[in-house]
Structure 1
């Protein structure tokens, strides 16, 4: 039996033979980058590929290749195509003189692939009697870290391809380095954020494909040497920094299975000859040998990994749904913006500087008007606030930070907002310790009543009964207002009436009594009296109580 079943192509109205051939197998862009740094889903292309009547209800294996740009991802995928198109033939590499065709590739330093490409033909691979064949989908992805892509674009493409694939090939150059693991951590975490937390391992199989491996005397080419290298790179030891341990634990927690394959360099003609067209005869023998080991290892029926979600097999139609759901999540703006390592470090530096400046403000203001300090007049409080705020701002600006002044502007605003919130708290706490302010209303009402009583007595002695009645009325109103105010304040009922009485008492103080007090008592003496009384009347700190 042929390893790959043929899919009958149904001609469309007005379609010629060339168009039918193109539809049988060609790269189609299914995810396209847009100008606003998001990605658009090409539903028409996806539906054409995945809803074909022969494959739509078949379990699907999605093989994707991702990694840095200009590292041979598309070149490798075309050998995957050759293997699948050979339908199980031992000599699947074919004619040594034949050009390599399929996914677009070329030599040079500029990127070739943008977005995500999918091969338009889905290959049906039989699995034996009584079992549905596996629909194999090949995907090519835009390379990471080129000069035209942001971190968000790179993270989105890598994360989306990892989320929909069952086999993700992480294409690396020469070695597995620490920055390769850091990028993998960033991209997989961005993908994991978009998935519901089910408690299961989110992604399936990851294979580290190390190209141009130059140390076969340490770890031999192929799967065996690669797995030994991978085990060493992901090893966790007691001497490692916590950051390195966390990185390795994260990667292990993201994939159900991981492996590594070491490939030799394909040869100088492949790398430097602009006329190279992918002919086998122009490649080094070691490279061709490694191809013959790698490709069948991934694509033989017994090695294929079917896409699963929550232990349920995903069909081609289900894969289309996954693309729709995941792309909407990334377009919704609900996920945080991924950052470069420089941005993350600069953010941490600036937040630390904000914390130091905020602590300085709180520490100084605590000593001036904190819980254990007495009341200070409003003008002194405002002066202390302004001077301390200037010191805090100066400390923030003088602290060495990464990112430059432009990057720090946002954190200056954050510090200003934090200081303003602290200012409101300290002002409320200071005002609450002002005995004169708290007792102003009852003092004014009692003073009014006392004055009315004095004048009433004088008018009675002088026989001025009308004025005496007026004074007694004022006396009664004063004490009645005092009783109503006290009841409202201590019972919580009739707060509106108490507020009106407070307002009337304040106006009475400002118009009648304050001018007289200011005439005979200096402001500094009055402030000192207020502070002394407030300090004496302030609650005893808990530490003092314990000592007592």
Structure 2
């Protein structure tokens, strides 16, 4: 199994759907009738998105096989999505793990997919490409992780406001929720002694307080203070992971390792809470998602965007 590209951008900046990936992932045998969960990660490149997803893959594998949740052995090299440190970046688009994890509860089966959005916050790319990729990830996901370095900055607020605006428009058009669950995951949090849920909530409250006086980030403020959003804090993983590391658990600082374990075990342990649904809260199946995906990509291909800030988003 390996990551395959589900959506890519062509030379003109248009989104293109990989039909063979759609067939492989969503329409293979009885999977097409299963409800599904889609864990999508967006954020700036080279900030640990793929590293995180590879450990999520390990925990999901345990869940699928009925084993106690685990992030693997101490000295297991990390594999899966390309995750190396450096300036190079994987091809822009949405990448999906080629095989869903099939989990079962009370005789009901669900397919769980893990997706990585490359180029969702790339200042060297045209802004409309970043916007389209991330809005598509938001509308597809049932659990969206916005991976942020150190703290929420103006750039990320700008993008998030635009993602939400476009996702709401598309959601209304396709009977989908614009957002089911958003987790703001702050990486390299400076205060490693205060990384608990209460610390994260206090941070989000503090940040949204600053926004309430202005009109630029209405959707961000409403979302981050609402029931669909959460925040988590992870400190720096330690120098052992930064120098020629294979991503092993044994290379991590203990504080980081414990918090990473808690974060992933909570996500995977609660996975049944994050089934993909429509606006009526009815389950969406893999086959239904394919139809939605094709239509949404077509809309995003043809939609003209004109914006320089959140206040100028138009479709």
Residues 232, 324 of structure 1: alpha-carbon distance in 2 compared, 3 angstrom cutoff: same
- 1:249-276 C-alpha deviation (Å, 9 max, x unpaired): 45359x75110110011112323x1x21
- 2:267 and 2:170 mapped to 1: Cα distance? 27
- 1:216 and 1:156 mapped to 2: Cα distance? 35
Work out which of the residue numbers 204, 210, 214 in structure 2 matches 1:230: 204
- 1:336-358 C-alpha deviation (Å, 9 max, x unpaired): 314334996xxxxxxxxxxxxxx
Aligned residue runs from structure 1 range 88-99, under 5 A: 88-90=66-68, 92-99=70-77
Residues 67, 267 of structure 1: alpha-carbon distance in 2 compared, 3 angstrom cutoff: same
Work out which of the residue numbers 285, 291, 301 in structure 2 matches 1:315: 285
- Higher RCO structure (Cα 8 Å, ≥6 apart): 2
Q: Secondary structure at the match of 1:55?
A: helix
Work out which of the residue numbers 21, 30, 33 in structure 1 matches 2:6: 30
The answer to whether the 8 A contact 2:186-2:234 is kept is yes
1:296 CA displacement: 1.5
The answer to whether the 8 A contact 1:204-1:256 is kept is no
Aligned residue runs from structure 1 range 348-497, under 5 A: none
Residues 216, 94 of structure 1: alpha-carbon distance in 2 compared, 3 angstrom cutoff: closer
1:146 CA displacement: 3.0
- 2:211 and 2:234 mapped to 1: Cα distance? 28
Q: Secondary structure at the match of 2:29?
A: coil
Q: Secondary structure at the match of 2:261?
A: helix
Work out which of the residue numbers 60, 76, 87 in structure 2 matches 1:109: 87
1:292 aligns with 2:292: no
Q: What is the count of residue pairs matched by the alignment?
A: 309
1:261 aligns with 2:232: yes
- 2:177 and 2:20 mapped to 1: Cα distance? 31
- 2:69 and 2:274 mapped to 1: Cα distance? 24
Residues 199, 325 of structure 1: alpha-carbon distance in 2 compared, 3 angstrom cutoff: closer
Q: Secondary structure at the match of 1:339?
A: coil
- Aligned twin of 1:326: 296
The answer to whether the 8 A contact 2:191-2:235 is kept is no
Q: Secondary structure at the match of 2:160?
A: helix
- 2:122 and 2:177 mapped to 1: Cα distance? 30
Please state which structure has a larger fraction of its residues in helix.
1
- 1:376-423 C-alpha deviation (Å, 9 max, x unpaired): xxxxxxxxxxxxxxxxxxxxxxxxxxxxxxxxxxxxxxxxxxxxxxxx
- 1:160 and 1:93 mapped to 2: Cα distance? 29
Q: Secondary structure at the match of 2:50?
A: helix
1:61 CA displacement: 0.5
Larger radius of gyration: 1
Residues 338, 137 of structure 1: alpha-carbon distance in 2 compared, 3 angstrom cutoff: farther
Q: Which runs of 5+ in 2 are unaligned?
A: none
- 1:281 and 1:195 mapped to 2: Cα distance? 43
Aligned residue runs from structure 1 range 464-543, under 5 A: none
- 1:80-139 C-alpha deviation (Å, 9 max, x unpaired): 10101123534612221111001112110222242111111111112225xx22210110
- 1:249 and 1:95 mapped to 2: Cα distance? 41
- 1:307 and 1:200 mapped to 2: Cα distance? 9
Work out which of the residue numbers 58, 62, 78 in structure 1 matches 2:38: 62
Work out which of the residue numbers 231, 235, 248 in structure 2 matches 1:279: 248
- 2:168 and 2:110 mapped to 1: Cα distance? 26
Please state which structure has a larger fraction of its residues in strand.
2
- TM-score in terms of structure 1 length: 0.53
Work out which of the residue numbers 146, 150, 172 in structure 1 matches 2:148: 172
Work out which of the residue numbers 174, 179, 183 in structure 2 matches 1:207: 183
- 2:25 and 2:227 mapped to 1: Cα distance? 28
- 1:112 and 1:248 mapped to 2: Cα distance? 28
- 1:143 and 1:282 mapped to 2: Cα distance? 28
- Aligned twin of 2:17: 41
- 1:509-545 C-alpha deviation (Å, 9 max, x unpaired): xxxxxxxxxxxxxxxxxxxxxxxxxxxxxxxxxxxxx
Residues 197, 117 of structure 1: alpha-carbon distance in 2 compared, 3 angstrom cutoff: closer
- 1:30 and 1:152 mapped to 2: Cα distance? 19
- 2:8 and 2:173 mapped to 1: Cα distance? 28
1:33 CA displacement: 1.1
Q: Please give the root-mean-square deviation of Cα atoms over the aligned residues, in Å.
A: 2.5
- Aligned twin of 2:214: 241
Q: Secondary structure at the match of 1:281?
A: helix
The answer to whether the 8 A contact 1:29-1:115 is kept is yes
Q: Secondary structure at the match of 2:181?
A: strand
